[in-house]
Amino acid sequence: MTQNRSAKITRQTKETKVEITLNLDGTGHYQNHSGIGFFDHMLDQLSRHSLIDLTTEVKGDLHIDAHHTVEDTGIAIGQAIAKALDDRRGITRYGSATIPMDETLSRAAIDISGRGYLVWRVEFTQPRLGEMDTELFREFFHALAMAAGITLHIENFYGVNNHHIIESCFKAVARALREAVTLDDRQAQSIPSTKGVL
């Protein structure tokens, strides 16, 4: 099966301008510039470990806070994933990964179902990492899941270092997403649902 599974999305509001270029069949090449250093680091992890090429250029109202920038980036990445997947024909659909990072262990599970949903079981012991509020990680994944039309479960089992906790979550999502978007030669022309549509 050969198809172009890439997308470009521009999302502009009075609060942000987000430009996304994404290729599901890439090599994990990334260039992410949101104006939030720690967030860029996490987007780099998402790209590298999913093998999804991702370029992100964001201009947001960071003089207020990072909320609009992070949420709108999640929406735009989700829209790009949905666009690149098209009718979702031939995909594996499901993916999961459990990722250790030193003292931390986290898991992500994905169903590319057409139904946006997030289950988030991750807690932090500090309010910020770098210049980013830790509560915004949930907002990012919620926005991504809803815009992409995927069911996404993220859980941290244990950990001490907050950096390790969230990085292991991003890496787990990346690996689960990599599995879920992979084309399955056994059902190359089929929609992976008894409904016939996702």
CA dihedral of 25, 36, 112, 105, whole degrees rounded to 10: 100
3-state secondary structure of 81: helix
Residue 150 has pLDDT above 80, yes or no: yes
Residue 59 CB partners (closer than 8 Å, separation 6+): 16, 17, 35
Mean pLDDT (the chain) is 96
Mean pLDDT of 87-104: 97
Mean pLDDT of 35-56: 98
Residue 70 CB partners (closer than 8 Å, separation 6+): 34, 36, 39, 132, 136, 139, 140
pLDDT attached to residue 1: 47
Confidence of residue 2 (pLDDT cuts 50, 70, 90): low
Nearest to 38 by CA among 143, 170, 177, 178: 170
Residue 159: CB atoms within 10 Å: 24
Confidence of residue 188 (pLDDT cuts 50, 70, 90): confident
Nearest to 106 by CA among 150, 166, 152, 161: 166
Nearest to 157 by CA among 98, 91, 93, 86: 98
Structural domains of the chain in order of their starting residue, each with its CATH number? 6-187 (3.30.230.40)
Residue 73 CB partners (closer than 8 Å, separation 6+): 16, 18, 20, 34, 39, 43, 56, 58, 140, 143
Alpha helices in the chain (DSSP H): 37-50, 67-85, 136-148, 162-181
pLDDT attached to residue 189: 87
Mean pLDDT of 138-162: 98
Q: Are 116 and 145 in contact (CB under 8 A)?
A: yes
Residue 196 has pLDDT above 90, yes or no: no
- Provide the whole-model pTM: 0.97
Strand duo 128-129 + 132-133: pairing: antiparallel
Residue 55 has pLDDT above 80, yes or no: yes
Nearest to 72 by CA among 22, 20, 18, 21: 18
Q: Residue 33 forms beta bridges with which residues?
A: 57
Residue 89 has pLDDT above 90, yes or no: yes
Give the DSSP H or E segment for 54.
Answer: strand 53-60
- pLDDT 10s digits, 19-35: 999 999 999 999 999 99
- pLDDT 10s digits, 60-73: 999 999 999 999 99
- pLDDT 10s digits, 7-18: 999 999 999 999
